[in-house]
């Protein structure tokens, strides 16, 4: 890892602090403009001692200076790359600095509720789970709409005539349901996958499965990791008493180069193809066809559709959206996100 860090042009800023039981590893998700509220939320809502490693993947100057000042003030380790990082690459860099029993992978656009961390740790201690995820909500108002409350993810074999093929099954529990509507149904449960928005991991699992797969540049990396954990005999739990919220939001101009690269068709296609080949899956089933059809959807949802709604006085306009898609692709290419 040290040699790869040098190649990436990474520098470190650290203050000497005692090492607690958990290290929080923060990495860029898709933008940098939400850095401040996300980082402040960690410190406002985390009651137990923790270390923090913040991986800064080439953030704009204003964000870089903010993180440097916060690292000096709060005493966390800041690791900066002078180039954009794929999420698993950033996570592996952060992982290389972790010495504690547990770590929590956190994206840089997540906010937290009081007690979130000790509840994840308590679940891991009581169940001996290798991975624990919180109830992960999405959007604003905060903590009100379910994004993930655990789910299913496994590979199965299906007969097709005289042949058999391997396919992947994936299901999210309670996705997009109001928390208030399903609260009585939410309870600690063993599940088959978590997401990297916020995921507590027992560090010793990496001795069994190795580092995160950096060939998965943008998608399916959480499924790959959880399949590896399960294959190695580890268990995964969801602890809904711990609540966090992933906050997708406005993409600012300074976010665009990273955002376009992060969600480029090239990165998505490469990730899908690698995932399919790695697990020896059939690429022409519904699971993969759906994802091929959705290439660029994250860019459309974050950039194109809000822009079209603004032009259409708050209304959806599919015709205009389709007419403007070439403009979005041209802007992406202009910024070098190929």
Question: Residue 234 maps to which CATH number?
Answer: 3.90.550.10
202 Rama class: left (phi>0) / alpha (psi -120 to 50) / beta: beta
Average pLDDT score over residue span 251-278: 94
Among 246, 274, 295, residue at a domain's last position: 246
Average confidence score pLDDT of the chain = 90
Q: What is the mean pLDDT of residues 166-173?
A: 95
162: CB partners within 8 A, 6+ apart: none
Which of 16-25, 154-163, 210-219 shows the lowest mean pLDDT across its residues? 16-25
Same domain, 209 and 301: no
Considering the domain architecture, whether residues 125 and 15 belong to the same structural domain is answered as yes
Torsion of Cα atoms, 134 then 140 then 141 then 143, to 10°: 0
| Percent share of the chain, pLDDT over 90 | 75
Neighbours of 222 (CB within 10 A): 24
Give the range among 105-109, 177-181, 325-329, 334-338 with minimum mean pLDDT: 334-338
* Burial (Cβ within 10 Å: 0-12, 13-18, ≥19) of residue 334: exposed
Residues spanned by the domain of 323: 253-334
Lowest-confidence pick of 39-48, 58-67, 255-264, 300-309: 300-309
The more confidently predicted of residues 158 and 322 is 158
**Could you tell me which of 169, 336, 163 has the C-alpha nearest to residue 256?**
336
pLDDT over threshold 60, residue 200:
yes
What's the pLDDT at 95?
98
Q: Binning pLDDT at 50, 70 and 90, where does residue 250 land?
A: confident
Phi-psi region of 161 (alpha: psi -120 to 50; beta: other; left: phi over 0): left
Q: Checking DSSP bridges between strand 102-107 and strand 77-81, what pairing results, if any?
A: unpaired
- pTM for the whole thing? 0.90
What pLDDT sits at residue 300?
75
pLDDT band at 15 (very low <50, low <70, confident <90, very high): very low
Q: Mark whether 280 and 161 lie in a shared domain.
A: no
What's the CA gap between 327 and 38, in Å, rounded? Answer: 32
**Distance (Å, rounded) from C-alpha 320 to C-alpha 93?**
42
Q: Beta 77-81 vs 51-57: how paired, if at all?
A: parallel
Q: Are residues 117 and 140 in the same domain?
A: yes
What whole-number distance in Å separates Cα of residue 267 and Cα of residue 216?
8
Strand pairing class (22-27; 102-107): parallel
Residue 137 and residue 245 in contact, taking contact as beta carbons nearer than 8 Å:
yes
| Inter-residue contact 179 to 135 (CB < 8 Å) | yes
Whether residues 30 and 11 share a domain: the answer is yes
Residues 107 and 126 in one domain: yes
Q: Find the mean pLDDT for residues 104-119.
A: 98
% of residues, the chain, pLDDT over 70: 85
pLDDT level of residue 3 (50, 70, 90 thresholds): very low
The answer to whether residue 26 scores a pLDDT higher than 90 is: yes
Q: Which residue, of 202, 225, 246, is where some domain finishes?
A: 246
pLDDT value at position 56? 98
Q: Which residues of 172-198 are buried (b: 16+ CB within 10 A; e: fewer)?
A: bbbeeeebeeeeeebebeebbbbbbbb
Same domain as 257, residue 240: no
* pLDDT at residue 76, as a whole number: 98
Q: What crossing angle do the helices spanning 61-74 and 35-45 adopt, rounded to 10°?
A: 20
pLDDT of residue 335: 64
Which of 221, 246, 271 is a domain's end point?
Answer: 246
Work out how many domains the chain is built from and give that number.
Answer: 2
Q: Can you give the pLDDT at residue 297?
A: 83
For the cut 60, the answer to whether the pLDDT of residue 211 exceeds it is: yes
- The region of weakest confidence among 41-50, 255-264, 280-289, 326-335 is 326-335
Looking at residue 286, its pLDDT comes to 86
pLDDT at 45: 98
Looking at the structure, tell me whether residues 235 and 312 fall in a common domain.
no
**Same domain, residue pair 326 and 186:** no
Comparing 196 with 333, which gets the higher pLDDT?
Answer: 196
Sole residue written with tokens 């490693």: 53
Count CA atoms within 13 Å of residue 319 on its CB side.
1
Q: Provide the H-helix boundaries in 165-296.
A: 179-182, 206-209, 221-231, 256-262, 265-278, 286-293
Same domain, yes or no: 308 and 222:
no
- For the record, the structure tokens of 213 come out as 């797969």
pLDDT of residue 11: 52
Q: Are residues 281 and 236 in the same domain?
A: no
Q: Are residue 223 and residue 321 in the same domain, yes or no?
A: no
Burial environment of residue 36 by CB neighbours within 10 A (0 to 12, 13 to 18, 19 or more):
middle
Q: Is 6's pLDDT higher than 50? A: no
């Amino acid at each position: 890892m040290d040699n790869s860090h040098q190649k990436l042009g990474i520098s470190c800023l650290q203050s000497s602090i005692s090492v607690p039981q958990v290290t929080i590893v923060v990495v860029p998700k898709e933008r940098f403009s939400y850095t401040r509220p996300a980082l402040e939320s960690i410190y406002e809502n985390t009651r137990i001692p923790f270390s923090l490693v913040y991986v800064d993947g080439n953030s704009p100057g204003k964000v870089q200076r903010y993180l440097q000042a916060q690292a000096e003030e709060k005493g966390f380790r800041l690791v900066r790359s002078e180039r954009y990082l794929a999420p698993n690459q950033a996570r592996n860099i952060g992982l290389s600095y972790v010495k504690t029993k547990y770590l929590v992978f956190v994206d840089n656009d997540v906010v937290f509720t009081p007690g979130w961390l000790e509840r994840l740790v308590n679940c891991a201690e009581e169940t001996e789970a290798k991975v624990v995820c919180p109830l992960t909500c999405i959007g604003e108002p905060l903590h009100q709409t379910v994004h993930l409350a655990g789910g299913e993810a496994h590979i199965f074999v299906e007969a097709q005539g005289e042949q058999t093929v391997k396919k992947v099954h994936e299901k999210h529990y309670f996705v997009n349901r109001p928390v208030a509507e399903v609260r009585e149904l939410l309870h600690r449960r063993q599940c088959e996958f978590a997401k990297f928005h916020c995921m507590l991991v027992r560090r010793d699992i990496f001795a069994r499965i190795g580092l995160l797969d950096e060939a998965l540049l943008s998608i399916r990396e959480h499924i790959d990791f959880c399949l590896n954990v399960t294959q190695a005999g580890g268990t995964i739990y969801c602890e809904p008493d711990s609540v966090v919220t992933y906050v997708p939001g406005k993409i600012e101009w300074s976010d665009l180069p990273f955002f376009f690269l992060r969600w480029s068709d090239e990165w998505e296609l490469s990730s899908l193809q690698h995932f399919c080949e790695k697990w020896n899956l059939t690429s022409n089933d519904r699971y993969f066809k759906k994802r091929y059809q959705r290439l660029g959807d994250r860019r459309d949802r974050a950039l194109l559709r809000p822009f079209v709604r603004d032009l259409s006085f708050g209304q959806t306009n599919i015709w205009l959206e389709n007419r403007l898609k070439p403009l979005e692709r041209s802007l992406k290419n202009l910024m070098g996100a190929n």
